[in-house]
Amino acid sequence: MKMGASRLTAENNDRERALLGLVVGQDREAFSELFELYHPRLFKFIYRLTHSHTISDELVNDIMLLVWRKAGTFRGGSKVSTWIFGIAYRQSMRRLSRDKSKLFQSIDSVELAAEEGTTPEIENWVRQGLGALPEAQRFTAMLVFYLGLSYEEISNVTDCPVSTVKTRMFHVRRKLKDILPAIALPESERAQQ
């Protein structure tokens, strides 16, 4: 990470800590600003898991309501983003396990906005690869690839040892190495394998 980016990240975290401190005092304007900062990131993260705009929007609102209610429990041992994504992770896991049959639509029927510089075909290819992973590995991969969290941050978010995060990412990389080339083949060639 470049020095300027590191300073900017620290400044962002300081601002988020200040906002969270104001939220503890029930400051609605501070909460509104925090909500605006996190809504897009949380929505994108949850949408990649659920493929549902409605469920993603509901979960983001539920998560931010928990942030409002539990702001006073933030101990400051991590970045604010790690704490908020920890809440998001736990809420998403609860929702996924409760509504598993309703949540996962056919991958082919889902349309996601492509990342900057990414074609819809590549986005679909990656989504299919991630969809083939077990739930814990998929969550870990998304936290690494889409949110850019470190293994230590993911350990805090998921409440598991760093060694477990590393093991999951080892398996993610190994499995995607096998899965992605097969998905990239035209269907006629996949049928012949």
pLDDT score at 127: 78
Q: 132 near 107, Cβ under 8 Å?
A: no
What range defines the domain where residue 43 resides? Answer: 1-105
Of residues 136, 146, 129, 140, the one with CA closest to residue 40: 146
Nearest to 89 by CA among 54, 59, 68: 59
d(CA 180, CA 51): 20
Per the CB < 8 A criterion, the answer to whether 180 and 129 are in contact is: yes
> Does residue 67 form part of some domain?
yes
How far apart, in whole angstroms, are the C-alpha atoms of residue 56 and residue 45?
9
Q: Are residues 88 and 128 in the same domain?
A: no
Its pTM surpasses 0.75: no
Pick from 189, 142, 193: which is nearest to 168 by CA? 142
Residues 56, 81, single domain; the answer is yes
Q: How many domains does the chain have?
A: 2
Residues 91 and 140 grouped into a single domain: no
d(CA 47, CA 33): 22
pLDDT digits (tens, 9 = 90+) for 68-110: 999 999 988 888 998 999 899 888 888 877 765 444 443 333 3
- Ramachandran quadrant class, 143 (left: phi over 0; alpha: psi -120 to 50; beta: rest): alpha
pLDDT at 55 over 50: yes
Q: Find how far residue 132's CA is from the centre of its chain.
A: 17
